[in-house]
Structure 1
Amino acid sequence: MSCEYSPMARLLWLKGCAMKKILVATHGRLASGVKSVAEVLLHDDSAITVVDCYVDESDPNEQIAEFIDGVRPEDDALIVTDLLGGSVCNMVTAMQPEKHGIVHVTGFNIALILECLITGEAFTPEYIDSVIAQASTSMRRVVLRAGGATDTDDDFFG
């Protein structure tokens, strides 16, 4: 599990300011991949904690509980899992993160994670619902048209 924060995040924490905390817990090493993407695209992955479940002998229950216990009431916290009804999702659900003010989202894409990292909005259920709706529009089948253009070129450049 990775819990390193940037110097600015540590300073905000020391001053008692709210911090964004996102736990990504997945089967295999998908969570670590999400953290890597955040570092590449945003040059800051300090808000993300990862739990790569079932890749070694570590207990994901303990790691997830540690994250939940570390969330203060003033923090904006989100737990993201990979598969609705999967063992990781069920593990988190059983811990009732909402009782700690933590929103749990399952079935995600990178657009959702990036939006949550860059927003100034609080992680309210309403805000997260709007991010889910927006992020889901970024998934589509790409169709190559004559001349090599795709069906998304007009959306991007038009």
Structure 2
Amino acid sequence: MDKKKVILVSHGKLSAGMLHSIQMIIGENEDVSSMGMMPGEHYQPMVDALEQKLKENPDTQYVVVADLMGGSVCNGMTTLLQYPNIKLVAGMNMGLVINLVLSPGVLTDEEIDAKVAEANAVNKRIQPELLTNGESGEDDFF
């Protein structure tokens, strides 16, 4: 494989909103796209569309980022794991998506796992004691 594409998949418009938001930060990027399952729809058309891409572009790695582990969209995408050119990640957030998109080239399982761990490490409840007014000598939160 010599190319990488990131595809965001979700219930509703979450993936389209995520795409829009990351483009505010990294700019337009042809290597990332989104698909969403709207109310009353089934996930199968998204799965079928992605399966077609997998078959037509065997030299392209598709890193699919789903909104929710165990959700119907993610579960539907698991049926595509039989193809060697797909990686599936559950739990979409901006840090993860930006990191995956901006990482050059095809990613190994270990590299994807590291990026997931990095993204999860920054999910925190913000506590007042983490914020400083600069008098403590510690680095400011921001």
**What TM-score range do you get, normalising by the shorter chain?**
0.7 to 0.9
**Inter-partner Cα distance in structure 1 for 2:103 and 2:130:** 38
Matched, 1:140 2:124: yes
Q: Secondary structure at the match of 1:24?
A: strand
Instruction: Sort the Cα spacing of 1:76 and 1:143 in 2 relative to 1 into closer, same or farther, 3 A.
Output: same
**Inter-partner Cα distance in structure 2 for 1:143 and 1:132:** 23
Q: Is the 8 A contact 2:15 2:36 kept in 1?
A: yes
* One-letter amino acid of the structure 2 residue matched with residue 122 of structure 1: V
TM-score, with normalisation over the residues of structure 2?
Answer: 0.81
* One-letter amino acid of the structure 2 residue matched with residue 141 of structure 1: R
Matched, 1:122 2:106: yes
**Inter-partner Cα distance in structure 1 for 2:122 and 2:130:** 23
* One-letter amino acid of the structure 1 residue matched with residue 69 of structure 2: L
Greater than 4 Å deviation, 4+ residue runs: 146-149
Q: How many residues align?
A: 137
Matched, 1:83 2:72: no
**Inter-partner Cα distance in structure 1 for 2:35 and 2:17:** 11
How does 1:47-62 map onto structure 2 within 5 Å? 47-55=31-39, 59-62=42-45
Shift of 1:100: 3.5
* One-letter amino acid of the structure 2 residue matched with residue 37 of structure 1: S
Matched, 1:41 2:25: yes
Structural RMSD (CA): 2.7
In structure 1, runs of 5+ residues without a counterpart are 1-16
Identity %: 25
* One-letter amino acid of the structure 1 residue matched with residue 86 of structure 2: I
Residue of structure 2 aligned with 1:100, choices 78, 84, 101: 84
Deviations 1:3-61 (A, max 9, x none): xxxxxxxxxxxxxx93321111111111001110121001123222211112465x532
TM-score, with normalisation over the residues of structure 1?
Answer: 0.73
